[in-house]
């Protein structure tokens, strides 16, 4: 695990974090703007501008102590073997793409192949271009390749999609996914966009007002952490594989153990997908309705009932090996005789899904 502990006086609050993230995969720091996420990255990288306000620090990466205020250890930024990609790419404007990506590589002992990364990130046709000639998404791809060529022990990405339009964001996401899947480099990714988190996160740390309020697997936190789902209350994640594309209806069929339909475009067959559904969008029924605009009605096994806020009842149900969560009134639970072990149907619209 990468151990991270910092306490620092910021302008309007004290940043006080103490958490660990896995040494593989994508770990997301998630929270509203101003919660201290980028400040944590600056401290990890050693690029914090106001060292005098630092109260406590400890950072351990690959069993190597990088920061430890108790023992007066603070490794210089250029010796930490980390890479940092900012929102604004920070390419050198006076040199072309090829010179930008090779800038750090020439001084590193990296055994990564520039040619392989150029091909993987599809920037071969951009090598003679200057930053001013590149689109926002192209600049970020170049910035990521430059960062990776230093073969860092850790890659940090600070909201790299925030300045991009929707199409550019969709184009860049697969490249970010390949970093840890194909290159085995751990990533700490800052975001306040639940769709990015849903697509990328293997592990998540939820922050608010300078502190960590929760952390863990995203599937677990969606159920228990309202801040993660934009105050929508409990939610749940279904993981599946796209088994059919219905172009004429702009729908795709996802095999999650049961077949469900979602509204989506630009998907591919056999593509793995995670979908987020808010519990308040799901209802229970005793049998499948014959005439309904609701396309999804799946068999579930009631597993647990919990009293929720605002007088509602939270129902946890099993769909194969996955969990479905829904909120119903106590009256509805009584009328349907909802209880543990009962077989019922959960239904939700194809449009009630975030993917």
Contacts of 142 (CB under 8 A, 6+ apart): 89, 91, 97, 100, 101, 121, 123, 126, 131, 134
Measured distance CA(300)–CA(317) in Å, rounded: 6
Q: How confident is the model at residue 340 (pLDDT cuts 50, 70, 90)?
A: very high
Q: Tell me if 65 sits within 8 A of 73, measured CB to CB.
A: yes
pLDDT one-digit tens code per residue, 184-204: 889 999 988 877 887 888 899
List the domains of the chain with CATH numbers: 2-229 (3.40.50.300), 235-348 (2.40.50.100)
Return the pLDDT at 290: 81
Does residue 232 register a pLDDT over 60? no
Q: Tell me if 262 sits within 8 A of 353, measured CB to CB.
A: yes
Return the pLDDT at 165: 81
Q: How confident is the model at residue 52 (pLDDT cuts 50, 70, 90)?
A: low
Q: Tell me if 142 sits within 8 A of 114, measured CB to CB.
A: no
Does residue 175 register a pLDDT over 90? no
Q: Tell me if 176 sits within 8 A of 170, measured CB to CB.
A: no
Return the pLDDT at 107: 66
Residue 347: Cβ within 10 Å count: 21
């Amino acid at each position: 695990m990468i151990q991270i502990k910092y306490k620092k006086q910021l302008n309007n609050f004290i940043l006080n974090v103490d958490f660990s993230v896995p040494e593989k995969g994508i770990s997301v720091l998630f929270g509203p703007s101003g919660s201290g996420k980028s400040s944590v990255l600056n401290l990890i990288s050693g690029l914090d501008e106001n060292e005098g306000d630092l109260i406590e620090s400890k950072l351990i990466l690959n069993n190597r102590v990088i920061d430890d205020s108790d023992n007066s250890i603070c490794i210089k930024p250029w010796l930490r073997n980390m890479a940092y990609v900012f929102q604004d790419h920070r390419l050198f404007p006076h040199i072309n793409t090829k010179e930008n990506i090779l800038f750090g590589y020439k001084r590193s002992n990296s055994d990564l192949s520039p040619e392989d990364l150029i091909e993987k990130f599809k920037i071969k046709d951009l090598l003679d271009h200057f930053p001013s000639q590149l689109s926002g998404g192209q600049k970020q791809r170049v910035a990521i390749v430059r960062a990776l060529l230093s073969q860092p022990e850790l890659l940090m990405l600070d909201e790299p999609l925030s300045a991009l339009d929707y199409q550019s964001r969709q184009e860049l996401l697969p490249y970010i996914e390949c970093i840890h899947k194909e290159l085995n480099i751990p990533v700490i990714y800052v975001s306040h966009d639940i769709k990015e988190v849903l697509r990328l996160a293997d592990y998540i740390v939820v922050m608010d007002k300078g502190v960590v309020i929760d952390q863990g697997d995203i599937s677990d936190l969606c159920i228990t952490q309202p801040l993660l789902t934009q105050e929508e209350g409990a939610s749940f994640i279904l993981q599946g594989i796209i088994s059919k594309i219905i172009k004429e209806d702009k729908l795709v069929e996802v095999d999650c153990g049961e077949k469900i339909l979602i509204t989506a475009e630009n998907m591919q067959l056999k593509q793995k997908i995670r979908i987020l559904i808010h519990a308040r969008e799901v209802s229970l029924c005793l049998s499948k309705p014959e005439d309904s605009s609701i396309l999804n009605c799946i068999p579930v096994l009631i597993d647990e009932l919990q009293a929720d806020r605002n007088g509602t009842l939270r129902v946890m149900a099993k769909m194969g090996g996955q969990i479905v969560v829904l909120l119903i009134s106590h009256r509805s639970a009584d009328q349907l005789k909802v209880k543990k072990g009962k077989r019922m149907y959960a239904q939700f619209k194809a449009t009630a899904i975030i993917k």
